[in-house]
Amino acid sequence: RVEDGVRIFELTAQEGSTSFLPGKESETWGFNGDHLGPTLRAERGEEVAVEVANELDEATSVHWHGMHLPPEMDGGPHQEIEPGGTWRPHWEIDQPGATLWYHPHPHGRTEEHVYRGLAGMFILDDAETASAGLPDEYGVDDVPVIVQDKVIADDGALELDSDGNEVGLLGSTVMVNGTVGAYHDVTTERVRLRLLNGSTARTYAFGFEDRTVQLVATDGGLLRAPVTTDRVRLSPGERAEIVVEMEPGTTARLRSFEPELGAVAAPFAVGANDSFDVLELRAASELAPSEPVASKLAEFGLAESDATVTRTFELDGRKINGQKMDMGRIDEVVEVGSTEIWEVRNVNLSPHNFHVHDVQFEILDIDGEPPPPDLAGRKDTVYLEPRRTYRLIMRFEDYADPTWPYMFHCHLLLHEDEGLMGQFLVV
Ligand code: C2O
Ligand code: CU
């Protein structure tokens, strides 16, 4: 609803139960329902507020992943909501159109809260995304695709025991928007899928066996131009928008193929040989025409010459630069208005990724080489292939606050919970 020019959303975290597999009830958590949450949507320039209520038996929080907003509204571990409590963050949407998402971020408990089902999409619109020739009828040819994997026991219980797996739990049941064996009826020549890796640990390589797709957007919004590709690798927390062309009366299967994880020591243990169906697209016998995707999508770019500070981050086990997350310690202090380069390196021979709150960054280079086209856009989360150095450039435009920090962390949520996270202030 809109009140006094503010778009107001309501989210209530609650317990529920979901039948993912026939005859099995799983205890799940959801926002405003049994599992997952509604898609929130707002336009650049809009004032928004969210009334968040916590009806769970334990504290939670809601973080707006990818959103540029004041740190006090960020929903990290410093903004936990006690059971029975409410929280009302508000901010102005001040960033390009993009596919963002929201999820809990309670200290040390993020993995389970997301795994149980607390997550949803937050779509931002602006003039640039509206004029890019992309399919945009929500639920028809513009479809949210939240991909998650779980382990469902014989009695329906959601297992979250990762059996000592280094990355966390790799599920044996994959679901899209909470549905196992999901399909979508396609009625147009082109369909836009907003892919979100909402898993806690698994990295996917999305694609089709029989066709390429056009990758049009990554975490923070449109690419400069569409990229034709056959695989889209997404680690936990990352998003991508793809446009798929369909022929009348045919089906196409979105799958996850064996992901390229880089130089990991035990690739099979972390999902590198897993491939499976994700979503079936079923085209009607007649398809309405779709506009072609524009050949130029967006203009943006941060200049390396504007960067005044370089910081280095080494991810090792559950530590960043030798330290585990400490709620009482500020790790970095950034000057408001500055552009910085963050050099990030995963020194382990196993997967990590890196997520920064508040900003969208660009990848300057990976081991000195320019990023591949699919990583050349605006990002807030990036997969870190082992033993490679990713140089990220980002600008901390505004929202100086000497009290409330933002987070940076690995988005493999077990790692985050176990300490692979740090805090920065913008002052
Ligand atoms: Cu998606 Cu710090 O989170
Ligand atoms: Cu990690």
Q: Provide φ and ψ at 20, rounded to 5°.
A: -70, -40
Is residue 116 domain-shared with residue 17, that is, in the same domain? yes
Spatial separation of the C-alpha atoms in residues 340 and 359, rounded to whole Å: 11
Measuring CA to CA, which residue among 54, 65, 64 is closest to residue 87?
54
3-class secondary-structure state, position 304: helix
Ligand nearest to the backbone CA of 357: 1
Give me 113's structure tokens: 């809260």
Give me 369's structure tokens: 């080489």
Residue 71 lies in a domain: yes
pLDDT at 188: 98
Question: Locate tokens 């605006």: which residue?
Answer: 378
Yes or no: say if 386 and 424 are a contact pair by the CB < 8 Å rule: no
First-to-last CA distance in the chain? Answer: 34
Q: Count the domains in the chain.
A: 3
Is residue 154 domain-shared with residue 193, that is, in the same domain? yes
Give the domain CATH number at 200.
2.60.40.420
Is residue 193 domain-shared with residue 254, that is, in the same domain? yes
Residue 109 lies in a domain: yes
Question: Locate tokens 């030798």: which residue?
Answer: 322
**Tally of CB atoms within 10 A around 91:** 19
Is residue 77 domain-shared with residue 8, that is, in the same domain? yes
Where does a domain end: 127, 157, 172? 127
pLDDT at 292: 95
Looking at this protein, which amino acid is placed at residue 273?
A: N
pLDDT at 136: 97
Spatial separation of the C-alpha atoms in residues 306 and 266, rounded to whole Å: 40
Helices (H), 296-417: 413-417
Measuring CA to CA, which residue among 192, 213, 214, 217 is closest to residue 137?
192
Is residue 324 domain-shared with residue 415, that is, in the same domain? yes
pLDDT at 163: 84
Distance (angstroms) between ligand 2 centre and the Cα of 410 equals 5
Is residue 117 domain-shared with residue 146, that is, in the same domain? no
Residue 189 lies in a domain: yes
Is residue 326 domain-shared with residue 422, that is, in the same domain? yes
Spatial separation of the C-alpha atoms in residues 118 and 171, rounded to whole Å: 17
**This model's pTM is above 0.95:** yes
Is residue 314 domain-shared with residue 391, that is, in the same domain? yes
Is residue 395 domain-shared with residue 353, that is, in the same domain? yes
Where does a domain end: 127, 152, 175? 127
Is residue 310 domain-shared with residue 274, that is, in the same domain? no
Protein residue with least CA distance to atom 1, ligand 1:
65
pLDDT at 161: 87
Check if 237 has its Cβ closer than 6 Å to any atom of ligand 1. Answer: yes
Residue span of the structural domain in which 97 resides? 2-127
Is residue 49 domain-shared with residue 163, that is, in the same domain? no
Task: Report mean pLDDT in 10-residue bins for the chain, 427 residues.
Answer: 94 98 96 98 98 98 98 98 98 98 98 98 97 97 98 95 91 97 98 98 98 98 98 98 98 98 95 97 98 96 97 98 98 98 98 98 98 98 98 98 98 98 98
Indicate which atom in ligand 1 lies nearest the CA of residue 409: 2
Residue 12 lies in a domain: yes
Is residue 207 domain-shared with residue 326, that is, in the same domain? no
Where does a domain end: 261, 288, 315? 288
Residue 415 sits at the vertex; the CA angle it makes with 409 and 420, to the nearest 5 degrees, is 40
Residue 298 lies in a domain: no
* CA dihedral (144, 145, 146, 150) positive or negative: positive
**Tally of CB atoms within 10 A around 29:** 28
DSSP codes of every residue in 10-31: EEEEEEEEE-SSTT--EEEEEE
Ligand nearest to the backbone CA of 409: 1
pLDDT at 261: 97
3-class secondary-structure state, position 365: strand
Residue 394 lies in a domain: yes
